[in-house]
Amino acid sequence: MPSDPSDPPFLVAAAAAVAEAVAATAAAAAAAPATATATATTPATVETVPAPSVSGASVPAPSVPEPVAVPEADGLQRILRGPSGLGTGGLFRVSPLPERLPEPGAEVPGAPEASASLPEPVEGVPVPGLYFHPVAEPDPVRVAEVSRRIKDWAVDEVDLFPDEWEGQFDGFSVGRYMVVCHPDAPTVEHVMVATRLMVAENAVDDCYCEDHGGSPVGLGSRLLLAHTALDPVHTTAEYAPDWAESLGSDAPRRAYRSAMRYFTELASPSQADRFRHDMARLHLGYLAEASWSQDDHVPEVWEYLAMRQFNNFRPCPTITDTVGGYELPADLQAMPQTQRVIALAGNATTIVNDLYSYTKELAAPGRHLNLPVVISEREGLSDKDGYLKAVEVHNELMRAFEAESAALAAACPAPQLLRFLRGVAAWVDGNHHWHQTNTYRYSLPDFW
């Protein structure tokens, strides 16, 4: 890509890095035989998408993003690491992210023996055959500080849980979760913004939908009223006080209200609106799951996957830029290609949850839907074969996420977008790490 002499040096460096990656990607795609993944069988068509201006100039992007070819690991890793070289330091508020560990020729890293390449042994066993990237344990000092502050917030500011739930709160290890998912957060307070939201989101899920008093009955009403803690009601003077008072009337609403206040102090209006949209998606997903539960209905696999795209971790990686102290401009965030990357990342991370929480959900009363259960039921497979097929579904989603992310980085090398893509990838890896190592909460089935 020709560079304008007036471009700041980091843009020139970014363009050069990406141009190199594009060449590597195109060469790899031309040389590579068709592979097992659906995306890899599509010819590579990497077109350059001009970065839209923040002022809102129209973006000539296709309305339906084309799947792209999977780049070889080297090119992909280079893109996801982001720009490097003179002048790029300003793209990283803190020291550069730890690099993903290489995958030397292994088709599926992460089988138990592969964990020998980790810097330190970690607790928990990865799902055999799962495609994931191991990461190092997060900084224990930062984890301890976030853990201390989040407990204070939960107890003193929002009165989140009764004493008997304290062990579960601690066992969730939300401080470790959020520190490992946001390695580029410039301060502890930035991590806290994500941590409060994570706690609040789980409070709503547990108390409204699941095993801490939740039920599908009346869920729509509860979710809508809680949603107004994120998306305020603009009403008349007569009715506004009742609405405002309602936000303090249970723990999920207190948590949403407070976490959202902290978030909007840091987020731009556009970032806040993006988050509200994702939370509305989440609540829609909860409702579909609840209606199937009320009807004792097992959806088809594709229907389950559609529901799980909404009942999904997406609101968490979507705020990676706010937590990182920068902003992905709305025009870049709204591009169909960016939306596809975010959706694939959310889907891969959420199927990771289905796999790690499988035994927990099997032990819970009633039938709890997750991907292995739905595949077994709908496709007439044994529990083990349903689980193994769910691993394959995850792996395909994960590879598609990485391929689309790499292609987008190559096509649109805006620095904020490159950093955002790295942030989403870090969230994906951190999410896996937390699930694997949270042995208080999760354990694997005995299939191997």
Smallest gap, in angstroms, from Cβ of residue 201 to ligand LYHC5SXD?
4
Rounded to 5°, the CA angle 305-42-77 comes to 80
Alpha-carbon distance of 379 to 362, in angstroms, equals: 18
What whole-number distance in Å separates Cα of residue 388 and Cα of residue 374?
A: 12
- The position carrying tokens 């992007």 is 61
Give dist(CA 29, CA 38) in Å, integer.
Answer: 14
Determine, following the binding rule CB under 6 A, whether residue 289 of this chain makes contact with ligand LYHC5SXD.
no
Residues 53 to 112: which contact ligand LYHC5SXD by CB under 6 A?
none
Give the tokens for residue 386.
Answer: 């349903």
Is there binding between residue 174 and ligand LYHC5SXD (CB under 6 A)? no
Span from 177-185, 290-298, 308-316, 405-413 in contact with ligand LYHC5SXD (CB under 6 A): 308-316
How far apart CA 80 and CA 94 sit, in angstroms, is 17
Q: Is 338 in the site for ligand LYHC5SXD (CB under 6 A)?
A: no
315's contact among ligand LYHC5SXD, Mg ion, none, with CB below 5 to 8 A by partner kind, is: ligand LYHC5SXD
**To the nearest whole angstrom, how small is the minimum distance from the Cβ of residue 195 to ligand LYHC5SXD?**
11
| Nearest residue to the partner ligand LYHC5SXD, using Cβ | 357
Q: Is 129 left (phi over 0), alpha (psi -120 to 50) or beta?
A: left
Among 177, 275, 313, 387, binds ligand LYHC5SXD (CB under 6 A): 313
**Binding flag, residue 198, ligand LYHC5SXD (CB under 6 A):** yes
Q: In sequence order, which residues have a C-beta less than 8 Å from that of residue 176 and are 6 or more positions away?
A: 138, 143, 147, 434
- Alpha helices, H only, 205-335: 219-227, 240-246, 251-266, 269-294, 301-310, 320-324, 330-334
Q: Indicate the residue whose CB is closest to Mg ion.
A: 357
Instruction: Decide: 218 and 190 in contact? Cβ < 8 Å.
Output: no
Nearest to 126 by CA among 142, 138, 108: 108
Binders in 110-129 for Mg ion, by CB under 5 A: none
Using only the alpha carbons of the chain, give its radius of gyration. Answer: 22
CA quadruple 417, 419, 425, 427: dihedral positive or negative? negative
Per-residue contact string for residues 246-285; x = within reach of ligand LYHC5SXD by CB under 6 A: ------------------------------------x---
Among 316, 375, 412, 414, which residue sits at the site for ligand LYHC5SXD (rule: CB under 6 A)? Answer: 316
Q: How far apart (Å, rounded) are the C-alpha atoms in residues 327 and 170? A: 32
Candidate ranges 40-48, 194-202, 247-255, 293-301; the one touching ligand LYHC5SXD (CB under 6 A): 194-202
Cβ distance to Mg ion smaller for residue 227 or 368: 368
Residues 335-354 close enough to bind Mg ion by CB under 5 A: 353
312 counts as binding Mg ion under rule CB under 5 A? no
Among 201, 377, 402, 429, interactor with ligand LYHC5SXD by CB under 6 A = 201
User: Taking the complex as a whole, how short is the minimal distance between the CB of residue 286 and Mg ion, in angstroms?
Assistant: 13
Q: Which is nearer to Mg ion, 293 or 353 (CB)?
A: 353
Cβ at position 358, least distance to ligand LYHC5SXD in Å: 9
Which residues in the 339-358 window bind ligand LYHC5SXD by CB under 6 A? 350, 353, 357
For residue 218, is it left (φ>0), alpha (ψ between -120 and 50) or beta? left
Residues 37/400, Cβ–Cβ less than 8 Å = yes
User: Rounded distance, CA 75 to CA 69, Å?
Assistant: 12
Q: Find the binding residues for Mg ion in span 351-390 (CB under 5 A).
A: 353, 357
Answer for which of 71, 315, 386, 415 binds ligand LYHC5SXD (CB under 6 A) is 315
Binding site for ligand LYHC5SXD (CB under 6 A): 198, 201-202, 205, 282, 311-313, 315-316, 350, 353, 357
> Residue numbers of the site for Mg ion (CB under 5 A)?
353, 357
